[in-house]
Chains A and B, each alone.
Chain A
Amino acid sequence: MKQRTSPSLKVLAGIAAAFIALPLLSILVRTPWSDLGNMLSQKSTRDALSISLQTSIIAALISCAFGVPLAWLLARSQSRGLSALRVICITPMVLPPVVGGIALLTAFGRQGLVGRFLYDWFDVSLPFTRTAVVMAQVFVAMPFLVLAVEASFRQSDKGLEEAARTMGASPSRVFFTVALPAARPAIMAGLALAWARSLGEFGASITFAGSFPGRTQTLPMAVYELVSVDYRLSLVLSLVLILISVGVLAAMRDRWMVGR
């Protein structure tokens, strides 16, 4: 039977697609193309782009290094205590980012629960540093990776892991040689998502890391500041962010999220 979509469904779908596409296309249309080169080569633009790329890539890698073991633990454990842990670990996803920033400040600020010891004993002050930018990004982005990878671990073929054990592999060897390779598509997707989320992070990082051009000011922070001041430049930076995000999603779809 030939598949036919009802006209009313098509209309609804069309409206939904238009609603999302229109604002993005508007930026494309309104971008001051003639001044593009000029604006992109401005120091503040280059600084913001470089800081954004550096911090978001590091944050994505950290999210992966720590998030994959967490996903493994959550997927494999039966205890009820760990389900509570899962809820906590996923919370940053639904939390308003600025709340995340406040939470980070409360924990790691100079007067914070942990931060005060770092400052008093080791002279380490985290807020307003690039480290703080990365921390804020990891806080909001890691849950995305954990969720994607945990789902994959849950669905993975435990029979393969059992077989590996019977052949003499210790549980950690099984993890690295059997479980991890099987989860590779999910890990890649999680990495891409974590990176995209880190790149777009604003509320938590501006609260915890502040914003200073050349030091901690990321692209989103620059856009925010420029909106009231140099609207055309803010359009250009917005365009850069949109293109990077679209690029990541397009690449993900083609290579890593292809269904089996």
Chain B
Amino acid sequence: MSISLNGVVGRGDFERVLKFSVSDGEVLAITGPNGSGKSTVIHTLAGLIPMRSGQLMADDITWDSSTSNTWVEPEHRTCAVVFQDLRLFPHMNVLANVAYGLRARGMHKDEAEQRSQKMLERVGLKSFEMRRPNNISGGERQRVALARALVLEPRVLLLDEPLSAVDTASRSGLRELLPELLSGFAGATILVTHDQKDVEALATATFGL
């Protein structure tokens, strides 16, 4: 699958003309200083903000188009987001957090929990299932967020500053884990970051804002 965006992206006073596309297996790093609109791109791709004009397509499915007046709701787009502020649900334990998307898409509780447990193992958090998000470290929370997105097997993975919420000590561990996870990921990845080290470790292509 390939995702392509061509048009004007904006939020509030901010506006940018953009054109890029990403295919399966690729990791596109969108770089730029703070305030250049990197988060806006992620939110637009996910369907949380509409494009000001232009088209956003996933293969031949139009997710957002001003010309044909098409709009696909975020819950119907085959992408998953890891937000910069993680946004783990504080009132659920780690397992429920990871299983949330699967259950939202209709999967039965047992199967969803099974898959979630396996994913937690893959990110190195076996036996963390019953813990609460505010009882684990920043690095561990980041892994939960990753697991939560990956378990959905999305066609597009959107990572918004994946390492910024993590303390320096845990960052190197994650910087090793991420490429491993991404190499096993079949879809397209868009990674937003201001850190050159992330780009070098993960990206197959870059795009500067």
Contacts and interface: CB of A to CB of B under 8 A. Distances in A.
* Contact between A and B in the complex (any CB pair below 8 Å): yes
Interface of A: 157, 159-160, 162-170, 173, 177-178, 181-182, 184
In the complex, the 8 A-B pairs of residues with the closest C-beta atoms, listed nearest first: A167-B101, A163-B87, A169-B104, A168-B104, A165-B74, A168-B105, A181-B91, A166-B81
B83 interface: yes
B85 A159 contact: yes
- Give the interface size class of chain B: 20 to 34
12 contacts: A159-B85, A162-B87, A163-B89, A164-B100, A166-B48, A166-B75, A166-B79, A166-B80, A167-B80, A167-B100, A169-B100, A170-B104
A167 B104 contact: yes
Main SS of the interface on chain A?
helix
Contacts of B73: 165
Nearest to B45: A166
Interface string B128-170: 0000000000000000000011001000000000000000000
B75 A163 contact: no
Interface in B86-119: 87, 89-91, 100-101, 104-105
A22 to B, nearest CB: 43
A171 B129 CA distance: 26
B75 A165 contact: yes
Given A163-B81, A164-B100, A169 B75 contact: yes
A164 B104 contact: yes
A166 B91 contact: no
A59 B114 CA distance: 43
Interface string B25-37: 0000000000000
